[in-house]
């Protein structure tokens, strides 16, 4: 049945109709994907590789606002968030399972748009969608994705392998996704008040894309393999640099010194931060959702790492007893606290 | 900080505090659980076995009502729902990942109670909790679990293997969980109206337990292996017999004849159905959440199957062209339609 706006109603499609709609075009790409959707469980055949698995949940109103997030982007980003965790193990993602809970305000077209983004991310990253669950909720949308990856035994990189004197490296630049979010929230507030003013988003393409359609750093994993650089520890930056470096040092039982002026910040990030009267460095240290990789390498690799574009050496690992410090440009030491994103905190 | 009722507030605990709380007592039991919580992803080593994986999402107000569902039971049931899918592949569950989204009305104590049930199910079924995600939601609770299992290659049983003349078998009895739900809903309505009347739940322990604390049929998987019975097809009954037999026949490209008087119904189920003026058979055919196994075996296995307690032969597989029929006690044929649970339908 079609409602008055010409949208298909999920009530009439039913769960099985919906499953058919979102799975009908799936073709499995990975050799390890033995059985995908259609039985009680999917089946993987990982042979002699190690299997890596992670899961992430995104809820409406907390992780995304559908007022300014296109559903296709949301689908894409939901996958990326999970793949990023697999790459952070130095593994290659191979399959995902996608579960969604949706309220009656969602139409078939909206769910198709969401899955367009999910399928696009699968296609771009060579990942198979092999299962999941679709169900309803009283209010809002919840997305839960489980990603599976594979790596030969010796290749996996843990959070816990950092050693004293290792170089601390970060990919890309930091704080951009957080500034993109602040921009969107600002324009939403203006819109809520005036109801008609066109949002001022021009000239901020980069930070908006970093927020709405982030990528996972598969290129870096491939580059490190090519250059025969084996990180001693690695983590992806989803909650902010300060939070992640503390996780890494805690797991590795080390301390660290991070040099403030070495932290990569994009021009647009800096510009937006200044517009909002935020210190750009604060944004780069505490802003989440960049999905860049933070890793450590032995100091002997300094020449190799320095020769690579898009990787910055931002500090080094110290003894645990020396603590976790940020070194400011005037050489004073500031202790690093995790100010990363806490979804349970009310502002 | 402790609120006025003496309950710990999740806002103050934070995500990492919450993760610590719910993971601090985890000890990995399965050899294939190489790395559990604490890194970007968990790591499994499945050796030469096949890996089986499934996921299920449960939302408050749709799948559960916290007014009459103790959180410990909810945690237990959330795990069971997933393990049941793994057993339905004739595989043994080995790990789970648990993601929850919770609103600010939940306290630390409530989450601990939920995880008590999750840990209990893990312990009873020998499964390792290896990861997950904890996040907040604007309203209500959503639970998403991914379960992983293993089986040697030749042992996996699909939905698609049923052959003409195979016997259709079902474990335990059907419709009890649905009657338990109806009883709880009836008493809730009485309570909502009167506000004080004690719920009349006595004498209905069995159907209440089937609804609130179901079990997955590990015993049947072990029994079939012991008896060297290899089902040709199998599915678990989560949405109701009618829905599941149609899935099985569709996947196997067969038809079926199911004999109404062979469908196992417990005394309490029958009694409750009659009290509510529902035909007990309707309950057994369309009621969901029993988590029993529906499977087919070659007709040569009839003696072996008949010798087992707790397994009923309810019909046989026919040619696809013969359709899917229920044979009533007076030998008339009624076509089987899926009236199973559809969470997108409004009543």
B2-15: pLDDT as tens digits: 445 556 666 677 76
Report the residue from B52, B156, B344 with minimal CB separation from A10.
B344
Helix, strand, coil content of chain B in percent (nearest 5): 40, 25, 35
DSSP A238: S
Report the residue from B43, B131, B345 with minimal CB separation from A51.
B43
Domain boundaries, chain B: 10-154, 159-335
**Of chain A residues 85-124, which have a CB less than 8 A from chain B?**
85-86, 88-89, 91, 95, 97, 99-101, 104
Average pLDDT, chain A: 89
Say yes or no to pLDDT of A28 above 70.
yes
* CATH code assigned to A10-155: 3.30.1330.10
Q: How confident is the model at residue A14 (pLDDT cuts 50, 70, 90)?
A: confident
Per-residue confidence (pLDDT) for residue A344, from 0 to 100: 57
**E strand intervals along B139-189:** 141-151, 167-171
* CATH code assigned to A159-335: 3.90.650.10
Q: Which helix (H) or strand (E) holds B313?
A: strand B311-319
Q: Which CATH architecture has domain B10-154?
A: 2-Layer Sandwich (3.30)
Q: How confident is the model at residue A290 (pLDDT cuts 50, 70, 90)?
A: very high
Tell me, what's the ipTM? 0.89
Q: Which residue of B has its CA nearest to A131?
A: B54
> Per residue in B305-345, pLDDT tens?
999 999 999 999 999 999 999 999 999 999 998 765 555 55
User: Can you tell me the distance from the alpha carbon of B10 to that of A339, in angstroms, rounded to the nearest whole number?
Assistant: 17
Report the residue from A46, A59, A236 with minimal CB separation from B135.
A59
> Per residue in B256-298, pLDDT tens?
999 999 999 999 999 999 999 999 999 999 999 999 999 999 9
Q: Beta strand A50-59 with A42-44: parallel, antiparallel or unpaired? A: unpaired
List of chain A residues whose C-beta atoms are within 8 Å of the C-beta of residue B42: 52-54
Q: What is the largest CA-CA distance in chain A?
A: 68
User: Can you tell me the distance from the alpha carbon of A61 to that of B139, in angstroms, rounded to the nearest whole number?
Assistant: 9
> Per residue in A35-70, pLDDT tens?
787 777 788 887 778 899 999 999 999 999 999 999
> Per residue in A164-200, pLDDT tens?
999 999 999 999 999 999 999 998 888 777 766 677 7
By CB atoms closer than 10 A (0-12, 13-18, 19+), residue A340 is: buried
Ramachandran angles phi, psi of B52, nearest 5°: -115, 135
> Per residue in B108-151, pLDDT tens?
899 999 999 999 999 999 999 998 898 889 999 999 999 999 98
Q: Give A239 or B30, the one with higher predicted confidence.
A: A239
Torsion angle, alpha carbons of B137, B139, B143, B144, to 10: -50
Contact criterion met (CB < 8 Å) for B133 and A148 = no
Q: How confident is the model at residue B82 (pLDDT cuts 50, 70, 90)?
A: very high
Per-residue confidence (pLDDT) for residue A345, from 0 to 100: 52
pTM value? 0.90
Least confident of A256-270, A279-293, B49-63, B197-211: B197-211
Token readout for B42 is 């968990």
- Residues B132, B143: contact at Cβ < 8 Å? no
Q: Is B126 left (phi over 0), alpha (psi -120 to 50) or beta?
A: left
Distance from CA of B329 to the nearest CA of A (A): 31
Contact criterion met (CB < 8 Å) for B59 and A343 = no
Average pLDDT, chain B: 89
Q: How confident is the model at residue B347 (pLDDT cuts 50, 70, 90)?
A: very low
List of chain B residues whose C-beta atoms are within 8 Å of the C-beta of residue A234: 40
B276 three-class SS: coil
Say yes or no to pLDDT of A104 above 70.
yes
Per-residue confidence (pLDDT) for residue B23, from 0 to 100: 78
Say yes or no to pLDDT of A347 above 50.
no
Q: How confident is the model at residue B194 (pLDDT cuts 50, 70, 90)?
A: confident
């Amino acid at each position: 049945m079609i409602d008055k706006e010409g949208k298909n109603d999920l009530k009439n499609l039913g769960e099985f109709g919906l499953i058919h709609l979102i799975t009908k075009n799936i073709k499995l790409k990975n050799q390890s994907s033995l059985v995908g959707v259609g039985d009680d469980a999917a089946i993987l055949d990982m042979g002699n590789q190690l299997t890596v698995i992670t899961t992430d949940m995104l809820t409406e109103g907390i992780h995304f606002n559908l007022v300014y997030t296109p559903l296709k982007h949301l689908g894409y980003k939901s996958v990326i968030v999970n793949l990023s965790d697999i790459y952070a193990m130095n593994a290659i993602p191979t399959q995902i399972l996608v579960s969604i809970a949706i309220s009656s305000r969602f139409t078939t077209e909206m769910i198709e748009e969401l899955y367009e983004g999910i399928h696009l991310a699968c296609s771009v990253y060579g990942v198979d969608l092999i299962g999941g669950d679709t169900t309803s909720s009283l209010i809002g949308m919840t997305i839960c994705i489980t990603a599976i990856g594979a790596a030969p035994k010796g290749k996996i990189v843990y959070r816990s392998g950092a050693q004293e004197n290792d170089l601390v490296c970060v990919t890309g630049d930091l704080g951009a996704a957080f500034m993109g979010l602040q921009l969107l929230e600002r324009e939403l507030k203006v819109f809520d008040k005036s109801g008609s003013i066109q949002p001022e988003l021009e000239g901020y393409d980069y930070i908006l894309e970093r927020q709405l359609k982030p990528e996972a750093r598969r290129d870096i994993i491939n580059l490190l393999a090519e250059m025969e650089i084996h990180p001693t520890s690695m983590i992806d930056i989803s909650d902010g640099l300060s939070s992640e470096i503390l996780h890494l040092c805690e797991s590795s039982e080390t301390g660290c010194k991070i040099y403030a002026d070495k932290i990569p910040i994009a021009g647009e990030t800096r510009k937006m931060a200044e517009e909002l009267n935020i210190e750009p460095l604060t944004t780069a240290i505490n802003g989440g959702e960049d999905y860049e990789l933070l890793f450590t390498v032995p100091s002997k690799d300094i020449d190799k790492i320095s020769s690579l574009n898009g990787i910055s050496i931002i500090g080094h690992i110290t003894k645990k007893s020396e603590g976790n410090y940020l070194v400011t440009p005037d050489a004073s030491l500031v202790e690093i606290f995790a100010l990363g994103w806490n979804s349970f905190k009310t502002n």
